[in-house]
Each structure stands twice: as C-alpha cells, then as structure tokens.
Chains A and B, each alone.
Chain A
Amino acid sequence: MARVVVDVMPKPEILDPQGKAVLGALPRLGFSGVTDVRQGKRFELELEGEPSEELLDQARRMAQTLLSNPVIEDFHVTLVDS
C-alpha cells in the first residue's frame, strides 16, 4: 500500500472568503500578528501497490480531474511513508 497526500489550495489570485473569516476570528481569540490565512483541502489516498512514480502520476490525474478545480485551485501531490 502507498499513502499519497493531495493538498489543494485556492490560487493566490482567487479570493478565499473562508480564509478571511478565519483571519478575522483569530484576533478575537487573542492571537495577534496573523497577517493572512488561506484555507485549502487535504486528501489522504490509500493506493494499492508499491510506491512508485506511476502511482504518483495516477494521484496527479485524480487531483486534476476531481479533487481540484484547476480554474481556481492549485494542488500538490506527496508520497508519504505509511
């Protein structure tokens, strides 16, 4: 088995209202000095087979097709030790 993590983040130029909401809430809780918050998604995929470049490619295709919307989001695929 291989574990692949896909991180999906809104593109820098796309407004992130959820991140803005978190940014607004932090000072109210006494956390000062936070200048920006961006909120994204993390997917943990368990894939059959040994870790390989091929598996990573498969995960990239999943990220491209379903897990992210390339119009508004960037993604990053990482193989992790499971």
Chain B
Amino acid sequence: MRVGVVTFPGSLDDVDAARAVRLAGHESVALWHGDHDLQGVDAVILPGGFSYGDYLRCGAISRFAPVMTEVVAGAQRGLPVLGICNGFQILCESHLLPGALIRNDHRKFVCRDQRLRLDNTDTVWTSAYSPGAEITVVLKNGEGAFVADQETLDRLEGEGRVVARYLGGNPNGSLHDIAGIANDAGNVVGLMPHPEHAVEDLCGPGIDGLGFFTSLLETVEGRVGAS
C-alpha cells in the first residue's frame, strides 16, 4: 500500500512515521502541506510535532493548509487517516473527530513510555491488535488532555469509538482516560501517544506500536480484495 505522510512547517515525527510505514511493509509517500494533492495514496498519516509553531491553538492553522482540503474530502469518502499527537489535534480542529485537546492539567510536558489498552480493534488502524490488548508506546505532549462535552463523551463511549485508553494513571487530564478515538466510520483515528516511536527494538520501548501500521494491510487490502 502507498501511505502518505504529511509534512507541515514544524512537523517533527514525519520521518519516524514514514519509517514505521516502511517497516510495516508499505511504501511511504511524502506529502506536502502546501499541495492540493494526495498523490493517489491509499491512506494518510498526520504526524506529530508543532505545526505552525502551535500558534493560535495546536492544529488550528494546519487545518487550513491546502493539503487538508484533500485530506478532509478523502476522509469523508472513507480514506484511512491516522493523526498522531499534533495530527490528532489537527483532526479535531478539522472536525473530522469530535472534541478538542487542551493543555495537560498539570501544565508540564510529558515524555515517557506509556501503557495503553486498545478498546476498539475494529478500526482500519487497530485491527492487527486483539481486543483489549495492552501495549506500551511513547507519550510526549504538552497539550494532550482530551475534552468534549458530556453528550459527545456519551456518544463516543456508547458507540465504542474510544480506540485507546491510558493505563497506570492518567498522564494529562484526558477525560475518561482517553488516548485515542475514531470517527463513526472507523477510518479516521486520532491518537495522542506515538506508535511510530515503538516499532523497533533498537530504539524505543519495543515494537508494540507496529500494529497501527500493519493493521492497514489487513483491513484495507482485505476490503479491496473483497470488492
């Protein structure tokens, strides 16, 4: 599969995301924030970092980057989109996902290995995991607290759209310990922790993150094969 990774001004983790894509057996395609062009990719990753310096609000300016017009249109057609950290913030600002991410309740930047439980393994980005799987990946953010109104939280919980939850204590004040959510179709997933930093034993806390990138193969190619 061809998986696009968008680089915004201030993206940090685009290279790691592209490497994770290749380690999972896909071809990585570099996408540029200023282009109205997804180069025909089969899936898109919005990587972590501090796009546009986090000015105004995290993700608020990136949302209006030319490439995002194409990402939003693609996502609405079913294109798999994964937003990691700053990418999650961009997806919320773009209204592809509900809620918002605000400053950590303790006001400090967090950088640590983080245990997660995968509560939804039916999305195109999590199907490689067994339901309820517990994994360790990297968490690093200053504004990672997921917030939404009660009605939205009830809907996310009721529809099983909480993809991942923090284990071992809440690291940032996220409501319901939410680390990641999906849209109702399951093709768009936002995740605050970084699976792309946990894909090789040499660096990082293990390879628990690889499943996010191998999941694509099973679900999307399975669907292509079935259609």
Contacts and interface: CB of A to CB of B under 8 A. Distances in A.
Contacts of B60: 66, 69
Interface string B66-110: 000000000000000000000000001100001110111111000
B133 interface: no
B103 A71 contact: no
B148 A15 contact: no
A14 B64 contact: no
* Size band of the interface chain A makes with B: 10 to 19
* Size band of the interface chain B makes with A: 20 to 34
A66 B56 contact: yes
A21 interface: yes
A21 B147 contact: no
Contacts of B64: 66
A58 to B, nearest CB: 17
Nearest to B92: A71
Given A14-B147, A15-B105, A15-B147, A71 B100 contact: yes
Interface in A14-65: 14-15, 17-18, 20-21
8 contacts: A14-B147, A17-B102, A17-B103, A67-B56, A69-B93, A71-B92, A71-B99, A71-B149
